[in-house]
Amino acid sequence: MKHANAGLLLAAALAAGPAWAQGNPEGTGPKMQAQDACQSEVSKFEQAIGLVRQAAGQQAAADLKERLLPAKLENEILFRDGYCGLARYLRERKLNR
């Protein structure tokens, strides 16, 4: 039953959005800004998994994350496309909401 609740917790955490304000520091180029936005989007997913970890436990969070984003695939995307590729994967599967 914990695993079913973990999915609901993830959805709620993603819907809540980030808890920090996103700034646009001066002196950064468009490429760096895009990279920061991508890292922020991936970070939001990781924070949601962290919330599931706190609420449902380590194993439930690990199982959920592996089901949504297998570790092997995550590493492959990060190596090939960086954080923007990983953020695109999360968006395509609606895991960023």
pTM: 0.66
Segment 34-62, tens digit of pLDDT: 678 899 999 999 999 999 999 999 999 99
Whether 46 contacts 2, CB under 8 Å:
no
Segment 1-19, tens digit of pLDDT: 555 555 555 555 555 554 4
CA distance 32 to 6: 34
